[in-house]
Chain A
Amino acid sequence: MTSLSPQDQAVEIQEHHEESHPDHRMFGLATFLVADAMTFAGFFAAYLTFKAVNPLLPGAVYELELPLPTLNTILLLVSSATFHRAGVNLRRSDMQRCRRWLLLTAVLGLAFLVSQMVEYFTLPFGLTDNLYASTFYALTGFHGLHVTLGALMILIVWWQCRTPEGRVTADNHFPLEAAELYWHFVDGIWVVLFVILYLI
Chain B
Amino acid sequence: MTLTLPQQSKPPSLQPTGWLRYLSFSVDHKVIGLQYLVCGFAFYLIGGALAGAIRTELTSPVADFMPRDVYNQVLTLHGTVMIFLWIVPVVNGAFGNYLIPFYVGARDMAFPRLNAVAFWLIPPAGLLLITSYFITGAAQSGWTAYPPLSLTTPATGQIIWILSVLLLGGSSIFGGINFIATILKLRRPGLKLMQLPMYCWAMLGTSILVVLSTPVLAGTLILLSFDIVAHTGFFNPGMGGNVVVYQHLFWFYSHPAVYIMVLPAFGLVSEILPIHCRKPLFGYTTMVYSIMAIVVLGLVVWAHHMFTSGTPPWMRLFFTIATAFIAVPTGIKFFNWIATLWGGKISLNSAILFSCGFIVNFVLGGITGVALAQVPFDVHVHDTYFVVAHFHYIVYGGSVFVIFASVYHWFPKVTGRMLDENLGRFHFLLTFIGFNLCFAPQHWLGLNGMPRRVAEYDPQFAFVNQISSVGALLMALSTLPFLWNVIASARSGEIAGDNPWRALTPEWLTTSPPPVENWKGEPPLVTHPYGYGIPADQIDLKDASGSDLWSNGR
A residues sitting closer than 8 Å to B (CB atoms) are: 1, 3-5, 7, 9-10, 13-14, 17, 22, 24-25, 27-28, 31-32, 34-36, 38-43, 45-46, 49-50, 53-54, 56-57, 60, 127-128, 130-131, 134-135, 138, 142
Nearest first, the 9 closest Cβ-Cβ pairs linking A and B are A42-B216, A134-B232, A39-B215, A38-B215, A42-B219, A10-B516, A39-B219, A4-B18, A131-B240
Kindly state whether residue B155 has any CB partner on chain A within 8 Å: no
Hey, which chain A residues are within 8 Å of B234, CB to CB?
A: 46, 50, 131, 134-135, 138
8 Å CB contact of B230 from A9, A46, A127: A127
| 11 additional A-B residue pairs with CB within 8 Å, beyond A60-B240, A131-B233 | A4-B18, A10-B516, A13-B520, A14-B107, A31-B177, A42-B249, A46-B249, A54-B241, A56-B240, A128-B230, A135-B234
8 Å CB contact of B107 from A13, A38, A45, A135: A13
Hey, which chain A residues are within 8 Å of B216, CB to CB?
A: 38-39, 41-42
28 contacts between A and B (CB under 8 A): A5-B18, A10-B16, A14-B107, A17-B107, A24-B181, A24-B185, A24-B186, A27-B184, A28-B111, A28-B178, A28-B181, A31-B176, A31-B181, A35-B173, A42-B220, A45-B248, A45-B249, A46-B249, A49-B248, A54-B240, A54-B242, A56-B240, A60-B240, A128-B232, A128-B233, A131-B239, A134-B232, A135-B234
With the chains together, A128 CA to B232 CA distance in Å? Answer: 5
Closest Cβ–Cβ distance, residue A142 to chain B (whole Å): 8
Hey, which chain B residues are within 8 Å of A9, CB to CB?
A: 520
Hey, which chain A residues are within 8 Å of B49, CB to CB?
A: none
B177 and A46 contacting across the interface, CB-CB below 8 Å: no
With the chains together, A14 CA to B28 CA distance in Å? Answer: 11
Hey, which chain A residues are within 8 Å of B214, CB to CB?
A: 35
User: Chain A at the B interface: mostly helix, strand, loop or mixed?
Assistant: helix
User: Given A5-B17, A42-B249, do A24 and B242 touch, yes or no (CB 8 Å)?
Assistant: no
Task: Give the contacts of B422-439 with A (CB-CB under 8 A).
Answer: none
Hey, which chain B residues are within 8 Å of A60, CB to CB?
A: 240
Closest Cβ–Cβ distance, residue A185 to chain B (whole Å): 13
- Which of B111, B219, B239, B241 is packed against the most chain A CB atoms within 10 Å? B219
Kindly state whether residue B43 has any CB partner on chain A within 8 Å: no
- Which of B111, B211, B215, B223 is packed against the most chain A CB atoms within 10 Å? B215
User: Given A31-B177, A43-B219, do A17 and B16 touch, yes or no (CB 8 Å)?
Assistant: no
Task: Give the contacts of B219-243 with A (CB-CB under 8 A).
Answer: 219-220, 222-223, 226, 230-234, 239-242
A13 and B220 contacting across the interface, CB-CB below 8 Å: no
Closest A residue to B170 by beta carbon equals A35
B177 and A28 contacting across the interface, CB-CB below 8 Å: yes
Kindly state whether residue B517 has any CB partner on chain A within 8 Å: yes
With the chains together, A39 CA to B180 CA distance in Å? Answer: 19
Kindly state whether residue B245 has any CB partner on chain A within 8 Å: yes
Hey, which chain A residues are within 8 Å of B252, CB to CB?
A: 42
With the chains together, A53 CA to B242 CA distance in Å? Answer: 9
A10 and B177 contacting across the interface, CB-CB below 8 Å: no
With the chains together, A31 CA to B487 CA distance in Å? Answer: 40
8 Å CB contact of B226 from A14, A54, A134: A134
Scan B21-37; emit 1 where CB is below 8 A from any A CB, else 0: 10000011000000000
Kindly state whether residue B63 has any CB partner on chain A within 8 Å: no
Closest A residue to B207 by beta carbon equals A31
Closest B residue to A31 by beta carbon equals B177
Hey, which chain B residues are within 8 Å of A25, CB to CB?
A: 111
With the chains together, A31 CA to B231 CA distance in Å? Answer: 34
With the chains together, A84 CA to B328 CA distance in Å? Answer: 48
With the chains together, A131 CA to B227 CA distance in Å? Answer: 11
Hey, which chain A residues are within 8 Å of B407, CB to CB?
A: none
Closest B residue to A17 by beta carbon equals B107
Hey, which chain A residues are within 8 Å of B185, CB to CB?
A: 22, 24, 27
Hey, which chain B residues are within 8 Å of A5, CB to CB?
A: 16-18
A130 and B107 contacting across the interface, CB-CB below 8 Å: no
Hey, which chain A residues are within 8 Å of B110, CB to CB?
A: 24, 27-28
Hey, which chain A residues are within 8 Å of B248, CB to CB?
A: 45, 49
Hey, which chain B residues are within 8 Å of A34, CB to CB?
A: 211-212
A38 and B213 contacting across the interface, CB-CB below 8 Å: yes
With the chains together, A8 CA to B181 CA distance in Å? Answer: 29
Hey, which chain B residues are within 8 Å of A14, CB to CB?
A: 107, 517
Kindly state whether residue B198 has any CB partner on chain A within 8 Å: no
With the chains together, A188 CA to B540 CA distance in Å? Answer: 66
Scan B234-262; emit 1 where CB is below 8 A from any A CB, else 0: 10000111100100110010000000000
With the chains together, A125 CA to B399 CA distance in Å? Answer: 49
B245 and A49 contacting across the interface, CB-CB below 8 Å: yes
With the chains together, A46 CA to B114 CA distance in Å? Answer: 31
8 Å CB contact of B177 from A3, A35, A135: A35
User: Given A28-B110, A127-B230, A131-B233, do A50 and B520 touch, yes or no (CB 8 Å)?
Assistant: no
Hey, which chain A residues are within 8 Å of B107, CB to CB?
A: 13-14, 17
Kindly state whether residue B138 has any CB partner on chain A within 8 Å: no
B240 and A28 contacting across the interface, CB-CB below 8 Å: no
Closest Cβ–Cβ distance, residue B378 to chain A (whole Å): 22
Hey, which chain A residues are within 8 Å of B213, CB to CB?
A: 38
User: Given A10-B515, A31-B181, A42-B249, do A36 and B215 touch, yes or no (CB 8 Å)?
Assistant: yes
Hey, which chain B residues are within 8 Å of A35, CB to CB?
A: 173, 176-177, 211-212, 214-215
A57 and B240 contacting across the interface, CB-CB below 8 Å: yes
Task: Give the contacts of B120-171 with A (CB-CB under 8 A).
Answer: none
Hey, which chain A residues are within 8 Å of B177, CB to CB?
A: 28, 31-32, 35
Kindly state whether residue B352 has any CB partner on chain A within 8 Å: no
